[in-house]
A and B are shown apart, each in its own frame.
Chain A
Amino acid sequence: MAKIGVFICHCGENIASKVDCTKLAAAIGEHPGVAVSVEYKYFCSEPGQESVKKAIRDNNLTGVIIAACSPRMHEATFRKVCAEAGLNPYLCEIANIREQCSWVHNDNDMATEKAMDITRSMIEKVKRNNKLQPIEVPVTRRALVIGGGVAGIQAALDIANAGQEVVLVEREPSLGGHMAQLSETFPTLDCSQCILTPRMVEVAQHPKIRLLTYAEVEHVDGFIGNFKVKIRMKSRYVNRDVCTGCGDCMVKCPVKKISSEFDCGLGKRTAIYTPFAQSVPNIPVIDKASCIYFKNGKCKTCMKSCQINAINFDMQDEFIDLDIGAIVVATGFQIQNTAGYGEYGYGKYPDVITGLQFERLATASGPTSGKILRPSDGKEPETVVFIQCAGSRDPSKGVRYCSKICCMYTAKHAMLYAHKVHHGKSHVFYMDIRAAGKGYDEFTRRTIEEDDASYVRGRVSKVWLENGKLMVRGVDTLLGRPVTIPADMVVLATAMVPQPNAKEFAKTIGIAYDEYGYYNEAHLKLRPVESSSAGVFLAGACQSPKDIPDSIAQASASASKVLALFSKETLEREPVVASTNEATCAGCWGCVLACPYNAIEQKDILDRSGRIIKRVASVNPGLCQGCGTCVTFCRSNSIDLAGFTEKQIFAEVMAL
């Protein structure tokens, strides 16, 4: 006999203001099999939880319904309550009468009716629930951090400093990411290199960190605690183990005029190169596309110059297979290609530059040794116009979202400019100043008040060249009139966008992403660092535009999730997994193909003499994530999902 306890929560006013909980409790009390039907203001509170436990014990309940908020909020809470009261936690179900009822309805009577339907339907389900036992799987205590920007560096150091092994994979020849390109960083104006390079070195020297630069993740298989990862080590043509980083090869290389990616085209590099002088590791790579030897088979100047024979033109890509327990994705961002904004003249006028190019100009170790000089003629600009939101918050041509960092770095740029060019004048076109962060508003105020940047609220419609000046035409919306400013340099605060291969890469690791290609968190508020796949965590700007403090905070949060996972030898997984009916499976393998986690295998059914009688589908419970895709595919209903069995769902539907 079913003895179901139904606990109806008011959620303060959230539910009770729309749903008549007293009426609901009375009606549900009449439902067959219901032994207890009670209401309370907050069942998630301590006394609320205690009352549920007491009711379970006093009435020997066989199932529990919490009619309250979404299961994503408190399913885990109440399952734990049941377990503590001696009831199998999987005999507890949530009837969501908040998000799916009180929050979305105005009519109280109808909302109450609907709450009854939802609750009844869950009662019918819970009557058919089975006692499930969590699945135990072993955990490989080795983390993979993908991306060696500041976020990846932080995550790797945190995990390694706690004593766990880390493999850090960076696809560029050096660690550092965008932060290595920055001059000084808001809101404190620390020199970016000075705070970052020591950490890069620490990563390279850490006994617990295996650093793989110029490497890419090729393939990820498996599941939380047990990933199998294949890494491609791109051939550097320089032997990492023997190169001392003396740099003789770079001095000798005859190809010297390659536009430097690291300097955003403002500097030059050789064909054998390190991106910047402080690169970690300080081992060059040969850029095959520019190298004369790879073009016509002659040169090898670098090889001759190398005292220790570290250069090898026959080097091939190598592959490394790794067992990994958890993954931190920290692949960062790119800045948007501004070519689409013809009106700003980017690409047409050399003195219209991006914010990142300005960073390179302002950096002591940059192409101009920290002097703000125009790319066109090397002169100091007397007037600089900064254009904020050059791509952000622009649904028609750019991206709809706010890139979050541009208000701050533009203020920083205006400030750096004022510090470096004392007689210079800066103008900033802005839509709003978004400076929410510790010390941020003070920082932008300083730019305006102490460094005399004149802020113009409005957008720029056109930039053109006239008598050697860049004419910037915009509108001052506060004064309600058009303005034209003759400038020597224009700096665009280009939008932060996901890496161009972000979507493709998400598919390689099996995580979800949004319309732009930013990686989705499992829950925007409650699980902001977990990805949609268990055991894969997110850090930094690959998830959404972020500045350095945010990136670091999230990286440390991810590291703590990884460490929590590594704190035990095995981990418990939800037993919501699929299983096949071997008697009825027709072996069409549609499910094998449909399963997004490759959790279904073909299994041979043998007779006593070992002959194959038939082949059927078989689910590996360690791999199955319980998504249910296979269930919907199987025509003959030969697959069922524990916790969401056909019988349960059917009963749920029929109760409506």
Chain B
Amino acid sequence: MITQEKYRSKAKKLLADGSVKMVIGYSPGSTADRRRPLFVRSFEEADQLVLDSNCIANLSGYLVTEGLLSDEKRVAIFLRPEGIRSLNILAAESQLNVDQIIIFGFDSIGREVSSLSGEHAGEFSELISSIKENPPEKSSEPLLYQIEQMNPQERFAFWKEEFSRCIKCYACRQSCPMCYCRRCIVDSNQPQWVNTSSHTLGNFEWNIVRAFHLAGRCVGCGNCDRSCPVNIPLRLINARMAAEVLESFDHFAGMSTTQEPVLASFKKEDSETFIL
């Protein structure tokens, strides 16, 4: 409650003195424990902002809505640590200018919400480094552990079963802040690399292509997972890819606004002789 009040008054102040044109936050949702994004444009609306442990959606994707930042005005946004990491990636991939963003950082343990100190992307680097150094316990994701214990056939069968429910609604993509492409690969039909029908092949193609596109970029915010209407545990695939790039390239997505994309950057020290 204290944090909510603190940010409400901060939002009011920034809107009132014109330092931001909008605050992106949360409002009550359709049920008691759901929260819905809120786009506050005026001083008065700021009182509708809600901040509690149910505010879990990563809102950073709204920042790249076409045209939002093109007037070079500033926007404030509520972000959890993963949200800040995804903001860093968006900046690193030139999708926005972080100088335009004021961060209302927060985190929660149980029902307790606390604010994070700092308001500009660069000020959270220590926090992000500590998350990299102290990954969550394996036990926090029992299903992931279970899948990792399976042999390849079992794992394939598991995902086949899960993917069989996919209805190609693309909610996962729409909710993912990293899926900002102007034209997603599934919508490219000359040629149609990814089959759009919801059959086994098409579903595999889609979900695996998306997983690859998020390798080294997914911050584990869980937006895709929560938005999937058929409850495919999508976060697990991405968590696996994140673990791979961390292990192979010591790359932890969203460390800074200048981090180079892991799959496009080569170092002269890399051992492969084809790297010129």
- Contact residues of A with B, CB < 8 Å? 504, 506-507, 510-515, 532-533, 583-591, 593-594, 596, 615, 633, 635-638, 646-647, 650-651
Contact = CB atoms under 8 A, between A and B. Distances in A.
Given A507-B268, A583-B183, A637-B193, 15 more contacts: A514-B273, A533-B276, A583-B182, A587-B95, A588-B93, A588-B94, A588-B261, A590-B261, A590-B263, A593-B261, A596-B266, A596-B275, A615-B94, A637-B188, A646-B190
A647 B191 CA distance: 5
Among B181, B260, B275, chain A packs the most CB atoms within 10 A around the CB of: B181
19 contacts: A507-B275, A512-B276, A515-B273, A532-B276, A583-B182, A586-B180, A587-B94, A588-B94, A590-B93, A590-B261, A590-B263, A593-B264, A594-B265, A615-B94, A635-B181, A636-B184, A646-B193, A650-B191, A650-B193
B183 A584 contact: yes
Contacts of A506: 276
Interface string B240-276: 0000000000000000000011011110100001111
Given A507-B276, A514-B273, A583-B182, A589 B94 contact: yes
Contacts of B261: 588, 590, 593
Given A586-B95, A587-B95, A596-B276, A636 B182 contact: yes
A586 B182 contact: yes
Contacts of A596: 266, 275-276
Contacts of B93: 588-590
A591 B264 CA distance: 7
A636 B273 CA distance: 28
Contacts of A638: 183
A236 B181 CA distance: 55
Contacts of B95: 586-588
- The 4 A-B pairs with the shortest beta carbon distances in the complex, nearest first, are A650-B191, A594-B264, A636-B181, A590-B264
Nearest to A508: B268
Contacts of A646: 190-191, 193
Nearest to B263: A633
A543 to B, nearest CB: 15
Interface residues of B, number: 25
Interface of B: 93-95, 180-185, 188, 190-191, 193, 213, 260-261, 263-266, 268, 273-276
A323 to B, nearest CB: 22
A633 B95 CA distance: 17
A636 B276 CA distance: 26
Nearest to B188: A637
Nearest to A629: B264
A636 B264 contact: no
A604 to B, nearest CB: 13
Contacts of B190: 646-647
Contacts of A514: 273
A391 B47 CA distance: 79
B182 A585 contact: yes
Contact of A635 (B94, B185, B266): B185
B185 to A, nearest CB: 5
A506 B272 CA distance: 13
Contacts of B213: 635
Given A588-B94, A650-B191, A636 B263 contact: no
Contacts of A591: 264
B93 to A, nearest CB: 4
Given A587-B95, A637-B193, A650-B193, A593 B273 contact: no
Contacts of B273: 512-515
A504 B264 contact: no
Nearest to B217: A635
A504 B276 contact: no
Contacts of A584: 181-183, 188
B273 to A, nearest CB: 6
Nearest to A503: B273
Nearest to B213: A635
Contacts of B193: 637, 646, 650
B197 to A, nearest CB: 16
Nearest to A637: B188
Nearest to B64: A586
Among B182, B264, B266, B274, chain A packs the most CB atoms within 10 A around the CB of: B264
A504 B265 CA distance: 18
A461 B185 CA distance: 64
A583 B182 CA distance: 8
Contacts of B263: 590, 594, 633
A562 B133 CA distance: 54
Contacts of B181: 584, 586, 635-636
A511 B276 contact: yes
Contacts of A583: 182-183
Contact of B265 (A513, A585, A593): A593
A400 to B, nearest CB: 16
Among A510, A514, A635, chain B packs the most CB atoms within 10 A around the CB of: A635
A602 to B, nearest CB: 9
Contacts of A651: 191
B60 to A, nearest CB: 15
B263 to A, nearest CB: 6
A358 B268 CA distance: 38
